Amino acid sequence: DYKFWKTQPVPSLEEKIVSEGPIDTTKTPDDIPNTPLPLLKEFEWSTIDIENKVELDEVYQLLYEHYVEDQDGTFRFKYTHEFFNWALKPPGWRKNWHVGVRVKDTNKLVAFISAIPADLKLNTSGNVIPSVEINFLVIHKKLRNKRLAPVLIKEITRRVNKEDIWQALYTAGVVLPSPLAVSRYTHRPINWSKLHDVGFSHLPANQTKAGMIAYYVLPNETKTSGLREIEQKDLDQVFDLFIKFQTRFELVQQFKKHEFEHWILGGKSDGSKSNVIKTYVVENKDGKITDFFSYYLLPFTVLNNAQHNELGIAYLFYYASDSAGKDNYKERLNSLITDALITSKKFNVDVFNCLTSQDNSYFIKDAKFGSGDGFLNYYLFNYKTFPVHGGIDPK
């Protein structure tokens, strides 16, 4: 019955939204307490310095053992150190928003929650909402169901409010009051036989293994002429293309150019190529960038399998095309996404995932993505808005 969520500025599940805007009364950072909520006496708050290798490794270990699993507990997300450096350190990131809980006696990290800055734009009303995105909420399995999650959520809220930010975006597999949009995960097998070995894909009754493998086979070479990996020099053109393309969707993140650069080029301080985010552009004969796509790599740990311990997974991220709205758009998107699938083979990807958001319904069927059992609910904290239909940001 949502004992905690009932007390928070979110719409209730029954509520019919009649107007858009903040839910709470207006406050200022001075109205917010200067100190954290108390924890049970065995525990203490600990701000995590992810630029310190030892502390980054503690976050890695906590999530490696305790983060999100699939429904049957066969797979668990396997974030890497490099992934955290990308996902937790975009421009404007704050160390104070990487919040941990430790056991006082042993200093062991047992819980974590994070916020990063993310301005949101509702293209329905034109409203821009200075916000954060909340992610990586995790509690050690032995400390579950003790109402620690609400304490972590209130503490991250306090730290964000202290910076004069009052809204947040977050996503979860679970249903809470109240989703503003729902997307479904879809999966495109790349290495069907491995997916079958680990129990991710099943052999349909009237099919053979060889038949399945043949159905999903992809060429070795991409087919869009002018397709290549992104380079730093493409940033201005890709950003312009992206900003235009984003007007198609109802809820988007409003990026500044250097923020967008971080998300699609990987933000490595030494300028080296990212192993996490892969971005490709299409350059025509006149040197104009006409399309781009990107995907990130986030493997699963395969739990309890004698043959395999990891599954390579790509997630479709941002893309844009100057064909959007034209007659050839569907065909164009299909070739781009097929090329994305082909390029992903180089990075040991076994399955390519995408959500039912963005313009993905244009290619999901033709590019052989199949519906999964996972859903992703999108939420806004302290902001009421009319439901959003599919046209949302993938993050």
* Total residues binding Mg ion (CB under 5 A): 2
User: Does 99 interact with ligand YNC (rule: CB under 6 A)?
Assistant: no
Q: Are 292 and 332 in contact (CB under 8 A)?
A: no
**CB within 8 Å of 176: residues ≥ 6 apart:** 2, 5, 10, 377, 379
Q: Does 148 bind Mg ion (CB under 5 A)?
A: yes
Distance between CA atoms of 277 and 25, rounded to whole angstroms? 40
Q: Which amino acid is at 287?
A: G
Taking Cα atoms as reference points, which of 24, 70, 65 lies closest to residue 200?
70
Q: State the number of binding residues for ligand YNC (CB under 6 A).
A: 35
Length of the chain: 395
- Helix, strand, coil: what percent of the chain each, to 5? 25, 30, 45
- Which of Mg ion, ligand YNC, none lies near 68, with the C-beta cut-off 5 to 8 A by kind? ligand YNC
**Residues 375-394 contacting ligand YNC, CB under 6 A:** 381
Query: Whole-number minimum distance, CB 113 to Mg ion, in Å?
Result: 12
Site for ligand YNC in 53-72 (CB under 6 A): 66-68
Phi then psi for residue 288, to 5 deg, are -95, 135
Site string for Mg ion, 59-98 (x = CB under 5 A): ----------------------------------------
Contact with ligand YNC (CB under 6 A) among 122, 139, 230, 281 = 139
Q: Does the footprint of ligand YNC cover residue 157 (CB under 6 A)?
A: yes
State the nearest-atom distance from the C-beta of 152 to Mg ion, in Å. 9
Output 300 or 381, the one with its CB closest to ligand YNC: 381
The two tokens of residue 355 are 């959500």
Q: Determine the interface stretch with ligand YNC among 2-10, 43-51, 258-266, 332-340 (rule: CB under 6 A).
A: 2-10
In the DSSP assignment, the letter for residue 142 is G
Nearest approach, Cβ of 10 to ligand YNC (angstroms)? 8
| CA torsion, ordered 19, 23, 25, 27, to nearest 10 deg | -120
3-state secondary structure labels for all residues of 348-362: CCCEEEEECCCCHHH
168 binds ligand YNC (CB under 6 A): yes
Let me know: does 121 contact 254? Beta carbons within 8 Å: yes
Instruction: Single out the residue of 176, 213, 218, 243 in contact with ligand YNC (rule: CB under 6 A).
Output: 176
Contact residues toward ligand YNC (CB under 6 A) are 2-5, 66-68, 132, 134-139, 144-150, 153, 156-157, 160-161, 165-168, 170, 172, 174, 176, 381
